Chain A
Amino acid sequence: MADLSALPGGKSPWQSAARFGLYALLLIFAAYYILPLIVVLSTSLKDLDEIRNGTLLSLPAEINFDAWGYAWNEACIGVSCTGLKPYFWNSVAMTIPAVLISTILGALTGYSLTKFKFKGANLIFAMILFGCFIPFQVVLLPMAQSLGYLRIANTVPGLVLVHIVYGLPFTVLFFRNYYVNIPDDLIKAATIDGAGFFMIFWRIMLPLSPPIIVVTIIWQFTQIWNDFLFGASFTTGGGQPVTVALNNLVNTTTGVKRYNVDMAAALITAAPTLVVYVLAGRYFVRGLTAGSVKG
């Protein structure tokens, strides 16, 4: 951290001007980042008349949560008017197992590839890592065929599998880069102490891993929760995740277009990831510091 103000000579007449400029810069960009959220939030709290008559950026005259309730319980998606509720739980049922399994597999694989190096471990890592870069459109058709073959097409377990597979390259990358910085001697010491492969993982590696586990879970949770392409391609009707339902909801109009409902629905959809970022954001940065991105 470059904190020179404490050192002698650090105070100059320029200092306060520079400080002012710094805050101005930070605030301007804060506005750039926060703007879309403000638009969505304030629109969701207005009623339709206000939306029609006011401007985009004006704040709601009075706060009105009707649109939220409507989006959650009543809004029509296609011909069924159930609101986002059932789809939200679909997403939960899909995201949690997918995040957990891909994280556990990633941790075990990263551990094996760094601490139990065998011939070709580097090549295997490179091959897994390459999976990060595959454009998902490439895999839609063969994946559809495979899911059908496995008899899990159009089901939540099917989507879970898809997300595990394409999350693995990232989780392996995170854990591998983290574990590479843990000294090998620890493993040797534990081996001589009589701990086996899984015992070392459980007793030594996992207790050292919370920073990277947080990073991985945040990353995976965000990616999987926000997925649209796979959800839209591999599910229909009642089994769809909430992002797809949101899209259907926004594009389903019965009569007047209710922008406030659309925006409330968008915020409901975004809520879990937003909460995770706001609550765990600091651990995210800390976890990144702990070595997941070095090299």
Chain B
Amino acid sequence: MASLSIQNVKKSYGAIEVLKGIDLDLEDGEFLVLLGPSGCGKSTLLNMIAGLDTITDGEILIDQNVVNDVHPKDRDIAMVFQSYALYPNMSVARNIGFGLEMRKVTKEDREKRVDEAARMLQIDHLSDRKPAQLSGGQRQRVAMGRALVRDPEIFLFDEPLSNLDAKLRVEMRTEIKKLHQRLGTTMVYVTHDQIEAMTLASRIAILREGEVQQFASPQEVYEKPANMYVAGFVGSPPMNFVPAAVVSEDGKLGVSIERTANGNRSSVFLALPDDRQDVGDWIGRDVILGIRPETLTHRSDAEISLNKGLQAFDCQVEVLEPTGADTLTYIELGGREVIARVNPYNTTAPGETMAFMVDMGKASLFDPKTELRI
């Protein structure tokens, strides 16, 4: 177990800057997920932590030691690859034990630890097989076993689940979570799947074009996204963005949204809760209102009376997408298509008007120019 500190780390290939100064600090035992689309630099960062890529500028510290020039094998890390990278010429047991062999662990000790790891991952019956004789899930487990057996300071995962089918992916996700809970080892996990990130991480770092957009706990990332990019990347279906203007109506601060219904232009006023009086400076200016689909639903007067943050309005329904638990209801707000999550028993047929309410207490406001959270 170890702490990990990444300080102003940069990476460039010639004139192309892949990482533009990353700062991340990780406590002992944390589970960090590096989340971002492909090409954002997350794998490069992981490789740099592993020592598989050189650092152009900045420092990486493991347990307060700068490791920039330390060879991977001396960093005491283990890594699970997307392709599993199992040695095709070695049996499962040899694969798992190879790292120990390289570290000159005695044969006896090695066998004991390999056995222990294999049992933990329920692959002990496969010890003599070659990787080519294994299924995808089994290979994944072997790859995990190879990392596990070393009992490293830090585990690194490079999209380890992306080659599995949907069901296995969920299963393995849980296993990784359990593993972390059991071992308590510091882990760094790269993925482009926000659900994996949300479920696994103790903290998520969202990367975009070589820069950290937000580095926070999953909940904070979800509820208080630092900018529109993060807001749009996390959550499914994604957050709705509605152009709006901050106005003061009847002494109440709120946002006004333009909309066109049956050829008539009108506007909706949604008041902001009292704790958002800080946006007073923005009166008369345009903002982007960010609403998560589950905070926008059919109107329930009972709830409105309980929660001051809930604001009601009517709107014509355009499309319905039932998902079972909820029905995604598409409406138009501020010239944008907006999704609401509605209880299936409260829906209206498309084309008809329905009453909605939105929890403005959970809404986000963004500066349309900088896209940053207000």
Which A188-213 residues sit within 8 Å CB-CB of chain B? Answer: 188-196, 199, 203-204, 207-208
Q: Determine whether the beta carbon of A195 is less than 8 Å from that of B78.
A: no
Task: In the complex, identify which listed stretch (B84-92, B108-116, B214-222, B276-284) lies at the interface while the others stay far away.
Answer: B84-92
> What class of interface size applies to chain B in its complex with A?
20 to 34
B84: chain A residues at CB < 8 Å are 185
Which A158-173 residues sit within 8 Å CB-CB of chain B? Answer: none
A183 at the interface (CB under 8 A from B): yes
Q: Which residue of B lies closest to A193 (CB)?
A: B99
Q: How far is the CB of A189 from chain B (nearest CB, A)?
A: 4
B88: chain A residues at CB < 8 Å are 208
With known contacts A185-B81, A204-B89, A193–B98 Cβ distance under 8 A: yes
Q: Which of A183, A188, A199, A208 has the most CB of B within 10 A?
A: A188
A207: chain B residues at CB < 8 Å are 89
Q: Determine whether the beta carbon of A194 is less than 8 Å from that of B99.
A: yes
Q: Determine whether the beta carbon of B83 is less than 8 Å from that of A183.
A: yes
Please pick, from A185, A186, A193, A204, the residue contacting B73 in the complex, using a CB distance under 8 A: A193
Q: How far is the CB of B81 from chain A (nearest CB, A)?
A: 4
Please pick, from B81, B87, B102, the residue contacting A188 in the complex, using a CB distance under 8 A: B81
Please report the C-alpha to C-alpha distance between residue A183 and residue B143 in the assembled complex, in whole angstroms: 15
Please pick, from B73, B81, B86, B89, the residue contacting A194 in the complex, using a CB distance under 8 A: B73
Please report the C-alpha to C-alpha distance between residue A250 and residue B50 in the assembled complex, in whole angstroms: 66
Q: Which residue of B lies closest to A191 (CB)?
A: B72
Please pick, from B73, B86, B89, the residue contacting A192 in the complex, using a CB distance under 8 A: B73
B72: chain A residues at CB < 8 Å are 191-192, 194
Q: Determine whether the beta carbon of A192 is less than 8 Å from that of B87.
A: no
B141 at the interface (CB under 8 A from A): no
Q: Determine whether the beta carbon of A192 is less than 8 Å from that of B77.
A: yes
With known contacts A188-B50, A188-B52, A189-B146, A194–B85 Cβ distance under 8 A: no
Please pick, from B73, B82, B87, B150, the residue contacting A191 in the complex, using a CB distance under 8 A: B73
Q: Which of A190, A194, A204 has the most CB of B within 10 A?
A: A194
Please pick, from B81, B82, B83, B102, the residue contacting A195 in the complex, using a CB distance under 8 A: B102
Q: Determine whether the beta carbon of B98 is less than 8 Å from that of A192.
A: no
Please pick, from A186, A191, A195, A208, the residue contacting B52 in the complex, using a CB distance under 8 A: A191
* B50-78 vs A, Cβ < 8 Å mask (1 yes, 0 no): 11100000000000000000001100011
Please pick, from A185, A203, A208, the residue contacting B85 in the complex, using a CB distance under 8 A: A185
Q: Determine whether the beta carbon of B102 is less than 8 Å from that of A204.
A: no
A191: chain B residues at CB < 8 Å are 51-52, 72-73
B146: chain A residues at CB < 8 Å are 189, 193
B102: chain A residues at CB < 8 Å are 193-195, 199
Q: Which residue of A lies closest to B53 (CB)?
A: A188
Task: Please tell me the number of chain A residues within 8 Å of chain B, measured between CB atoms.
Answer: 17
Q: Determine whether the beta carbon of B79 is less than 8 Å from that of A189.
A: yes
Q: How many A-B residue pairs have CB under 8 A?
A: 59
Q: Determine whether the beta carbon of B83 is less than 8 Å from that of A185.
A: yes
B79: chain A residues at CB < 8 Å are 188-189, 192
Q: Which residue of B lies closest to A188 (CB)?
A: B52
Q: How far is the CB of B265 from chain A (nearest CB, A)?
A: 57
A194: chain B residues at CB < 8 Å are 72-73, 99, 102-103
Q: Determine whether the beta carbon of B81 is less than 8 Å from that of A204.
A: no
Q: Which residue of A lies closest to B104 (CB)?
A: A194
Please report the C-alpha to C-alpha distance between residue A204 and residue B82 in the assembled complex, in whole angstroms: 19
Q: Which residue of B lies closest to A204 (CB)?
A: B87
A192: chain B residues at CB < 8 Å are 50-52, 72-73, 77-79, 99
B150: chain A residues at CB < 8 Å are 193
Q: Which of A190, A191, A192, A199 has the most CB of B within 10 A?
A: A192
B50: chain A residues at CB < 8 Å are 188, 192
B78: chain A residues at CB < 8 Å are 192
Q: How far is the CB of B263 from chain A (nearest CB, A)?
A: 59
Please report the C-alpha to C-alpha distance between residue A188 and residue B150 in the assembled complex, in whole angstroms: 16
Please report the C-alpha to C-alpha distance between residue A22 and residue B317 in the assembled complex, in whole angstroms: 69
Please report the C-alpha to C-alpha distance between residue A281 and residue B286 in the assembled complex, in whole angstroms: 76
* A175-192 vs B, Cβ < 8 Å mask (1 yes, 0 no): 000000001011011111
Q: Which residue of A lies closest to B52 (CB)?
A: A188
Q: Determine whether the beta carbon of B98 is less than 8 Å from that of A186.
A: no
B82: chain A residues at CB < 8 Å are 185
Q: Determine whether the beta carbon of B83 is less than 8 Å from that of A208.
A: no
Q: Which residue of A lies closest to B73 (CB)?
A: A194
Please report the C-alpha to C-alpha distance between residue A183 and residue B85 in the assembled complex, in whole angstroms: 8
Q: Which residue of A lies closest to B50 (CB)?
A: A192
Q: How far is the CB of A184 from chain B (nearest CB, A)?
A: 9
B77: chain A residues at CB < 8 Å are 192
A189: chain B residues at CB < 8 Å are 79, 81, 85-87, 146
Please pick, from A183, A193, A196, A208, the residue contacting B89 in the complex, using a CB distance under 8 A: A208
Q: Which residue of A lies closest to B79 (CB)?
A: A192
Q: Which of A189, A190, A196, A208 has the most CB of B within 10 A?
A: A189
Q: Which residue of A lies closest to B78 (CB)?
A: A192
Please report the C-alpha to C-alpha distance between residue A195 and residue B103 in the assembled complex, in whole angstroms: 9
Q: How far is the CB of A62 from chain B (nearest CB, A)?
A: 53
Q: How far is the CB of A217 from chain B (nearest CB, A)?
A: 19
A204: chain B residues at CB < 8 Å are 87, 89
Q: Which residue of A lies closest to B103 (CB)?
A: A194
A208: chain B residues at CB < 8 Å are 88-89
Show the binding face of B for A, using Cβ within 8 Å. 47, 50-52, 72-73, 77-79, 81-89, 98-99, 102-103, 146, 150
Can you report 16 residue pairs joining A to B where beta carbons are below 8 Å apart? Answer: A183-B83, A185-B85, A186-B87, A189-B79, A189-B81, A189-B86, A190-B98, A191-B52, A191-B73, A193-B73, A193-B99, A193-B150, A199-B102, A204-B87, A208-B88, A208-B89
Cβ-closest 8 pairs across A and B: A194-B102, A185-B85, A193-B99, A194-B73, A207-B89, A189-B85, A185-B81, A185-B83
Q: A188-B52, A189-B81, A193-B102 are in contact. List 20 more A-B contacts (CB 8 A).
A: A185-B83, A185-B84, A185-B85, A186-B85, A186-B87, A188-B50, A188-B85, A189-B79, A189-B86, A191-B51, A191-B72, A191-B73, A192-B77, A193-B146, A194-B73, A194-B99, A195-B73, A203-B98, A204-B89, A208-B89
